[in-house]
Amino acid sequence: MKEYMEFKIKTRNLVIFAVIVFMVCSVGTYYFWCSYHPEVTIKISDGPTGKEGIIIEAPHISIEPTGIAEPSASIELKTNSIIMQHEFFCAYIRDNYDKSDIKLDIEVQDNETTLKYSGTATTNDGNIDNIEKNFDCGFALNANIINSK
C-alpha cells in the first residue's frame, strides 16, 4: 500500500510538470506568432517629392503590434524595402522630369509584393512620357492596403 501511494504522488508531480511545460511552450509559441503577424496598414496617398510640379502617390506604412510581442525585425526590413523602392523611383522622376502625375498601386500575389506606378511625366525638353513601372520586392507582405483616391 505504501508503494502505491508513492507512485500516485509521482504521477501527480509528473502531470503538474507536464502542464507547466505545456503552458510555457504555449506562451512562447503565441509570442513568436505575434511578432511575425503584426497589423500592417499601407495607405496610398499623395506624398512629398521635394520638387514642385512632381506629383507621385506614396505608400505610408504603419505597423501595430498584435498581442504581447513587438513586430519582428524582418517585418520592419520588408516595409523599409518598400519605402526604399519608392524613394529610388521618386529620385529618378525628380531628376529626369519637370512635371508628373503618377499613381501607385500595390499588389500582393503569389508570395510577391509589387509596386505598380502608372501615369504621365513631362521631360525637361517638354515631351510627355507614359510611365509604367513595376517593382517586385521579392516577398509577400500581409497588409491592409488603403487607397485614398
- Please answer whether residues 58 and 45 qualify as being in contact, where contact means their C-beta atoms are separated by less than 8 angstroms: yes
Strands (E), 110-142: 112-123, 128-136
Spatial separation of the C-alpha atoms in residues 100 and 132, rounded to whole Å:
13
8-12, 30-34, 115-119: the lowest-pLDDT one: 8-12
Report whether pLDDT(9) > 70.
Answer: no
Q: Among candidates 104, 100, 98, 73, which has minimal Cα distance to 86?
A: 104
pLDDT value for 149: 63
- Give the distance from CA 133 to its chain's centroid: 21
How much is the pTM? 0.76
Rounded to an integer, what distance in angstroms lies between the CA atom of residue 49 and that of residue 80?
Answer: 17
pLDDT tens column, 78-126:
889 989 999 999 999 988 898 899 999 988 888 888 899 999 999 888 8
- Supply 126's cell numbers: 517638354
Q: State residue 108's pLDDT score.
A: 85
